[in-house]
Amino acid sequence: MRGLPDRFVMVYGTPHRSLMWGFIGYCTLMTGLQVSPSTFGVVLILAALAVSWRASGNSISERTPAVSLLLLVALSGLVNDFRLVGVVTAAAFVSTPVIAAIGNKRKNLVFGHALRVMVAWLPASLTAASLTVLAFRDSSCAGLLLSLVFVHDLGLGLGMRDRSRRHLAPFFGIIGALAILWTSIQISASPISPRWFWPFALLVVVAIPLGRIVMGLVSTDDDRDLKRFSSYFLVTPLWVLANNVLFI
């Protein structure tokens, strides 16, 4: 019988076999970031579509609502306007239950359908749009966030390999992310000053795990691609907002 720590790790953790895909995704995104913000945004949109495709449903008709809303929100990031991204995201959020109710005569199933559509488009599209706008404003901030999440997921995945120490995997991920954050500040690789280390460290420590837990609870076993994106879910919009208010 699994204890509470084991159950937590199973919801929070990442299978180590997904590490290679994570590395390929990180390198692809960093390459796009070096080319131009627009190229980076297009790569992000394609990545968002890839991780959300299977979560959207099994047929074209099931996938159309989530994919349409995802594209609408993700493409808004290319305009380089945080306010537009917020308005479009809010409109898509409000319209999701309405879309889910269309053609669904059983009211007790509308909530479940709306939640599935929401999970399929919201995390990936909001991440893509937020990171795209941040890349236009300050590419170093965007690159640092990508590196933080990659190192976190790498530490998490490596920690999951050892069954006897699997409960320590979340700590390995967080410690790795904080080490990257501290190092980047010390070598002035980002606009974050040393006095802001602890607030941003707290943001990373809280937002990455909470985002993974939320996505783990609302996703199904078939949403493996979407779970690989879960570390970005909450930390990205909060990171972008903090950097935009304080430094940009």
Q: Is the pLDDT of residue 229 over 50?
A: yes
SS3 (DSSP) at 138: coil
Give the domain range for residue 210.
4-246
pTM of the model: 0.87
The pLDDT score that the predictor gives to residue 59 is 75
Average pLDDT over residues 53-81: 86
The pLDDT score that the predictor gives to residue 4 is 57
Q: What confidence category does residue 64 fall into, taking pLDDT thresholds of 50, 70 and 90?
A: confident
Say if residues 230 and 157 touch (Cβ distance below 8 Å).
Answer: no
* Lowest-pLDDT range of 113-122, 169-178, 239-248: 239-248
Mean pLDDT of the chain: 85
Residue 102 has which token pair?
């269309």
Q: Name the domain count of the chain.
A: 1
